[in-house]
Amino acid sequence: MGLFLLSLLALTLLLSLGGPLPFCFGLSMMIMNLLGDATMKGALMYGLQQITSPVLLSIPMFVFAGKLMGESGIAKWLLDFVNIFVGRIKGGLGIVSVVTCAIIGAISGSALTGVSAIGPIMIPRMIEENYPRGFACALVSISSVLGLLIPPSISMLTYAWLTENSVLACFVSTVVPGLLITFALSMVNLVLTKKTTAREKISQVRYTGFRALPALMMPVIILGGIYGGIMTTTEAAGVAAVYAIPVGFFVYKGLSNRSYFKSAIDSATTVGSIMLLIMLCMILGQMFTMMGIPQKVAETVLSFSSNKIVILLIINLLFVILGMLVTDLVSIMLVVPLLMPLVTQLGIDPVHFGAITITNLAMGTVTPPYATVFYLGLRFGGAKLEEGLKPLLILIVFAYLPVLILTTYVPALSTALPRMMGLM
């Protein structure tokens, strides 16, 4: 157990310092290989075999589709469409940001795409309407994590593949938590902001709705195709990428030959890093398994308490700490296999545990020190860390954490919808 903790500590420290992935995982593997009983040879073959899984083929397509839609300029029309309905009330501009980020999340499955698409447009507009600069940056940043909760989600797809659970059931499990967070963020925004936005003309609904329709149809096509049994997850990802090309070029005209090839290159880079990360995590995770670490983790945790409520609290605290230090994918790939024997022993449904995992780790993308999405939001708004940190913490404590607690201790929030749809 001491060797495992040393290996995990070395990995977490190097990753939190921004070290290159191969070096971070290589050092952890060397510690396990030289000081432990596990050899890298069998684990290496296991990692290479796992990376060829058909389920993982959907990741490149979802990433590419998200990049294309992010470059196409759909964010402006979505913002204008949502603004017509809620932009006329006090604090309505903040609600527009939250709801639009949720829609973008249903298109891209990525928090970074959400903040990149919404931030440059919405943060300056909120500042013009006298929203505090730091609050505007914090609200858009934390709303962007809805991309990890509202399907399709690359993080949840990875969890479903890793735990061999239904991708559809796992996708649906975070819909209710995602909608609750959308509502909670909107309500906290209304309490904290008292500025009135510009009044929109109701006559704009038809035109703006027509222009926003192609973007709104994308999640309908993806999720409708998957849940209707028409397409597999991988096929739906391919359809999403193909659909995004004409929409970006001919409908919104935000795509050009240059931006298209830039999106393709960026997607290839992102996918390459994701696949490398998954393979390295699988190799290291297999080495942990060969040494019986998952069983030892379960025994250690149960030695402190056998109370499910206490253990779920410990698991949440672990995820909170990891989310502040490393990426959500690293946490999923390394920690979930270690905790599954414990989760199984406690009788926790894997789909419910997936909702707990993703809801928790999504918060980590905006929680310093590792807070890529939050830092990007601050950059778009030209705000300093100290300006955005206080409103971010308020939004986390009063909007995000209550939903996380409900998701953890009320299984029906994440399992009722999959059961209604016959996925469990």
Q: With b meaning 16 or more CB within 10 Å and e meaning fewer, what string describes 9-38? A: eebbebbeeeeebeebbbbbbebbbeebeb
pLDDT at 20: 74
Residue 388: pLDDT over 90: yes
- Residue 423 is classified by DSSP as -
Q: Which two tokens stand for residue 231?
A: 């397409």
Residue 200: pLDDT over 60: no
Could you tell me which of 2, 54, 46 has the C-alpha nearest to residue 281?
Answer: 46
Interatomic CA distance for residues 272 and 381, integer angstroms: 30
| Residue 225 and residue 144 in contact, taking contact as beta carbons nearer than 8 Å | no
- Given pLDDT bands bounded at 50, 70 and 90, which one contains residue 196? very low
Could you tell me which of 371, 316, 419 has the C-alpha nearest to residue 137?
Answer: 371
Count of domains forming the chain? 1
Q: Which two tokens stand for residue 33?
A: 């290989």
pLDDT, tens digit, 9 for 90 and up, residues 265-280: 988 888 888 888 888 8
Residue 95: pLDDT over 80: yes
Confirm whether 13 is domain-assigned. no
Confirm whether 14 is domain-assigned. no
| Residue 366 and residue 373 in contact, taking contact as beta carbons nearer than 8 Å | yes
Confirm whether 97 is domain-assigned. yes
Residue 311: pLDDT over 80: yes
- Which structural domain range is residue 370 located in? 21-420
Confirm whether 398 is domain-assigned. yes
Tell me the whole-structure pTM to 2 decimals.
0.83
Q: With b meaning 16 or more CB within 10 Å and e meaning fewer, what string describes 67-86? A: bbbbbbbbbbbbbbbbbbeb
Confirm whether 11 is domain-assigned. no
Q: Indicate the burial class of 350 (C-beta count within 10 angstroms; 0-12, 13-18, 19 or more).
A: buried
Confirm whether 138 is domain-assigned. yes
Of 42-46, 52-56, 298-302, 337-341, the least confident:
42-46
- Given pLDDT bands bounded at 50, 70 and 90, which one contains residue 393? very high
- Residue 148 is classified by DSSP as G
Q: What is the pLDDT averaged over residues 397-405?
A: 95
